[in-house]
Chains A and B, each alone.
Chain A
């Protein structure tokens, strides 16, 4: 295999990376749905999924089987080609976008080939990401139009107006970051944020000493929530007014594809927020003498999670759950010991911080959804054009002035 890989380095390495990333992404997406249901349940003083597997951990499998087994009718008046195309577009484009996200520094070895921790390290990575997100609208719009249902059409119409309005703010909100970094390559944007102000405050773009991107991040986050069609901006779905909005007429796996697309877009947007504003894979703790213990934090976190799982597992209400949860805790502890070893410790530090930050952003995402009520359509347009767009423009002007004045 190594010899073949040496002959066709790009094809083999890229293929391996794509397959692994796709597998990981699908698992993450499945458990993101579980996570969202759990968080929403606890926000509303419920327990959430609890029946399928211990703590509902097998719920994603049950959901997947349900998506595959349901009857899948096509509405009589539907435009068949477009009707089938729309969910494919939504899912395909939002999964593609993850390819340009760098997960860590340095390189890894695949069949003897050294390669960075990203599928496509292109020099206009950010633009490619925005290009894919901007095409993602078509999935929603075309689904709404092709279903031949008034609810779907209204959902699609709302979505297209919303996307056009918020895309401007989304792209303008990252201009501040680009001015500070001076590049479109995502891994270079991360490396530009290394270092610490006064020895302890990380120089992430959010806290950049030259021009802190607080306003930029606020605009980015609001626009990103709107772009991914989530509450409080989910007017395309608006189940209280439009049944289910653009995917009213979809069922079974075609509906599942919209579902996967929405969550994949969420993950991409969270990863991008971390890369642009929170220093990507960089550790929040300064290095240097006396700080060598920070390298053991990933292992410690894993061990703590494992111990917590075991402590919780032995008191579970079902015997099978007690066994399974304790074993999972034990496995996590074993993994922690493995991660404390030389070599592996350095290799996983970057991805660990990156994934931890992404997890925090995703939690805020879910938290927002179950806290804020939906905006009215006119409020949505007013926020987009009269508040968010001027705010992101002001951020561009302010950042440019500060960069020119202080450098």
Chain B
């Protein structure tokens, strides 16, 4: 077992454990903390793929900014312990079987593809590559996405202001 595989195993286990813990915890803050663990582990996996830029951005944007906002809202609303509903009818008869099907399909495809897959050639200077893709090749869809987010923001403001 190489050192790389060992690091991958640890990070992957951490990510999966964090994700499971996120669902099992009953307090929103604990769930949010588990989600941060998942994101940090994912950043580690990106680092293992030598995508330093994506790893750093993953931490800054997701773990740093978005999750701080989550935690802020949870604290502001002073959310207490969640109540267990023991599966609604839809979840029991549609959700659980579909989740099982998804798992089987994913496992099948990963198991079939792993032998044939080869690593993509390592891009020199990943930050530069990402920037060129975002701001030159895909500049239009990129700007369109940011306008979409802006519209969503303004929409949220309008909805919040309507009652008062």
- Interface positions of A (Cβ within 8 A of B): 79, 82, 122-124, 127-128, 130-131, 134-135, 137-138, 141-142, 144-145, 153, 156-157, 160-161, 163-164, 167, 171, 184
Contacts and interface: CB of A to CB of B under 8 A. Distances in A.
Main secondary structure of the interface of B (DSSP, over half): helix
A160 B68 contact: yes
B64 A135 contact: yes
Interface in B50-76: 52-53, 56-57, 59-60, 63-65, 68-69, 71-72, 75-76
Interface of B: 27, 29-30, 33, 36, 43, 52-53, 56-57, 59-60, 63-65, 68-69, 71-72, 75-76, 125, 127
A145 B75 contact: yes
Contacts of B57: 127
A82 B27 CA distance: 12
Contact of B59 (A82, A131, A171): A131
A163 B60 contact: no
Contacts of B29: 79, 82, 142, 145
B75 A153 contact: yes
A245 B76 CA distance: 16
A127 B60 CA distance: 8
A157 B64 contact: no
A1 B60 CA distance: 40
Contacts of A127: 52-53, 56-57, 60
Contacts of B127: 123-124, 184
Given A122-B52, A153-B75, A157-B72, A134 B33 contact: no
A134 B72 contact: no
A134 B40 CA distance: 12
Contacts of A122: 52
10 contacts: A122-B52, A124-B127, A131-B63, A138-B36, A141-B72, A157-B72, A157-B75, A157-B76, A167-B64, A171-B60
Contact of A164 (B30, B72, B75, B125): B72
Contacts of B69: 160, 164
A131 B71 contact: no
Given A127-B53, A127-B60, A164-B72, 18 more contacts: A79-B27, A124-B53, A124-B127, A127-B56, A127-B57, A131-B56, A131-B63, A141-B72, A141-B75, A142-B29, A145-B71, A153-B75, A156-B75, A157-B72, A157-B75, A160-B68, A160-B69, A184-B53
A-B interface, 6 closest residue pairs, ranked by CB to CB distance from nearest: A134-B64, A127-B56, A131-B59, A160-B72, A124-B52, A131-B60
A171 B118 CA distance: 36
Contacts of A160: 68-69, 71-72, 75
Contacts of B76: 157
A122 B56 CA distance: 11
A203 B33 CA distance: 45
A145 B125 CA distance: 41
Nearest to B69: A164
A144 B57 CA distance: 27
B64 A137 contact: yes
A141 B52 contact: no
B68 A128 contact: no
Given A124-B53, A145-B29, A164 B68 contact: yes
Instruction: Name which of B29, B65, B68, B125 has the most chain A CB atoms within 10 A of its CB.
Output: B68
B72 A161 contact: yes
A294 B38 CA distance: 52
A137 B146 CA distance: 26
A142 B67 CA distance: 12
A164 B72 CA distance: 10
B68 A138 contact: yes
Given A124-B127, A157-B76, A137 B56 contact: no
Instruction: Name which of B59, B60, B64, B72 has the most chain A CB atoms within 10 A of its CB.
Output: B64
Contact of B63 (A128, A135, A161, A171): A135
Nearest to A157: B75
A141 B68 contact: yes
A141 B67 CA distance: 11
Nearest to A144: B75
Contacts of B60: 127, 130-131, 134, 171
Given A124-B127, A135-B63, A137-B68, A130 B75 contact: no
